[in-house]
A and B are shown apart, each in its own frame.
Chain A
Amino acid sequence: GENVEQHPSTLSVQEGDSAVIKCTYSDSASNYFPWYKQELGKRPQLIIDIRSNVGEKKDQRIAVTLNKTAKHFSLHITETQPEDSAVYFCAARIRGGADGLTFGKGTHLIIQP
């Protein structure tokens, strides 16, 4: 089955700086890569996603890049703010429909004032 590795497990950045979280996946058939943000005590919420036919996608301060050849994808957050502090999960999915997401182990992002 699919295996998703995520790094780092904890990332501390100064407010206003950029943060980058990286993930690799094992199954080249994976074609959908979402990122979820989970605040303490809350549900994971989708913040951005990318499909395998696209190399990069941007939404305001967040962007995701995908390298299919290397089987890795990254989340970039620019101009970080205190409300960006949370656990971020990458995930990968094969095909679609009833197949669930395979998640990375999460990155605890800490924004220091």
Chain B
Amino acid sequence: DTAVSQTPKYLVTQMGNDKSIKCEQNLGHDTMYWYKQDSKKFLKIMFSYNNKELIINETVPNRFSPKSPDKAHLNLHINSLELGDSAVYFCASGSPSGNTIYFGEGSWLTVV
């Protein structure tokens, strides 16, 4: 059983398209996150949701819109994709104690 699973793993798309990445966790965690890892491997938080409520929204273009239908799911929708959006997007979830964070396997997005 994969604890944090995200789909698709690989996504190649053209500039201007709209795409979504889905994430699900079966750990019973209340908190879920989206992180972006750029080509230099820098990991930066984008969004944080706690019990379906948006908690953190870092400086991210409003073309990125997270949606949490329930506390086990946090999807990421991206409108009007740009070349600079190419990166690996990691979903993650946090333990009830509020410390340990577990990452999904990542979604490799390439915008051409």
Contact = CB atoms under 8 A, between A and B. Distances in A.
Interface of A: 32, 34, 38, 42-46, 49, 51, 87, 89, 93, 95-103, 105-106
Given A87-B41, A99-B56, A43 B90 contact: yes
Tell me what chain B mostly uses at the interface: helix, strand, loop, or mixed. Answer: strand
Contacts of A99: 48, 55-56, 98
B50 A44 contact: no
A102 B103 contact: no
Contacts, number: 64
A105 B38 CA distance: 11
Contacts of A43: 90, 103-106
A98 B56 contact: yes
A32 B44 CA distance: 17
B98 A44 contact: no
Contacts of A101: 45, 101
Nearest to A100: B45
A97 B50 contact: yes
Interface of B: 30-31, 33, 35, 40-45, 48-50, 55-56, 90, 94, 97-106
Nearest to B41: A106
Contacts of B50: 97-98
Nearest to B98: A96
A96 B42 contact: no
A100 B17 CA distance: 29
Contacts of B102: 46
Contacts of B33: 100
